Structure 1
Amino acid sequence: MDHNSFKTFSQRPQDVEAAWHLVDAENAVVGRLSAQVAALIRGKHKPEYTPHVDGGDFVVIVNADKVRFTGKKETDKTYFRHSGYPGGVTLQTPREVREKYPERILEHSIKGMLPKNRLGRQMAKKLKVYAGAEHPHEAQNPQPLDIDA
């Protein structure tokens, strides 16, 4: 057997074909949905996955305001923000965040599961989250995806 027949395949940025997925987040558990969406954005579901190449798909999430937490996280979990000024700490519960910025819960959760570098920030741009059932990406024809969360 020839040794050259087992070459390691490495995907190149120009070879990437990104699909569009539509996910309905109604009644989905935040962490479980986020883990599956983060894997789609990274491209880990594809056989040609390459860690240093952004080979993932675009994901459009609708009904982000209807995601749920397990247990008492809705009232007991806190999100930390700091303005950069002395005394500029803001702590909010998921309930408070949901009232004002319902998309932020899923965005924060999914971005936390992506790499913390330039590639991760590039991947995060492929995530589109909307509070209601409407989204402006009909032209991309996103395929409905059933997430078992």
Structure 2
Amino acid sequence: MSTFMANAQNTTQQWFVIDATDQVVGRLAVVIANLLRGKHKPTYTPHADTGDFVIIVNADKVKFTGNKWEDKNYQTYSHYAGGQKIIPAKEMLRRKPEEILRLAVKRMIPKGPLGYKQITKLKLFAGPSHDHQAQQPVEFKVQTN
């Protein structure tokens, strides 16, 4: 008897499409992070990339709960004097709507080489169309509570 350990050679990766219309950012990000890491599969292995590719369409139609559109800020820092930028959530939605979901998912994936590889499997699109028709993605329904 031996223990099965998943690795890149014996793992198949699927492509999923998720429609982000009227989805709460945090709840959707949890589902996406679990798909990217492969935690939905029985062959999940923490030290191997067993996750799937995820395509998000309509990323500009996500929603926040509470008063986060007014209160939430995104901060970046260039490590130079005066290099701190603080962008409100409404402004981020106007400028780069995909970045709201990308940052939420990125913070839910472990840091390090494996996590950096897993986040590259996330493809975000602000509108209803995407460039990955050739991969024959399967629609993934997110349960809304």
TM-score range, shorter chain: over 0.9
| Aligned residue in 2 for 1:122 | 117
Equivalent residue runs for 1:1-149 within 5 Å:
5=1, 7-149=2-144
Q: How many matched pairs?
A: 144
Runs of 4+ in structure 1 off by over 2 angstroms are none
User: Aligned Cα RMSD in Å?
Assistant: 0.8
Structure 1 residue 8: Cα displacement: 2.3
Counterparts of 1:28 and 1:94, CA distance in 2: 16
Counterparts of 1:12 and 1:144, CA distance in 2: 25
TM-score scaled by length of structure 2: 0.97
Counterparts of 2:110 and 2:46, CA distance in 1: 10
TM-score scaled by length of structure 1: 0.94
Counterparts of 2:42 and 2:78, CA distance in 1: 42
Q: Specify the code of the residue in structure 2 equivalent to 1:21.
A: F
Structure 1 stretches of 5 or more lacking a match?
none
Structure 1 residue 22: Cα displacement: 0.3
Structure 2 stretches of 5 or more lacking a match?
none
For residues 82-123 of structure 1, what are the alpha-carbon distances to aligned partners after superposition, in whole Å with 9 as ceiling and x for unaligned? 122101111111101011101000000001111100000000
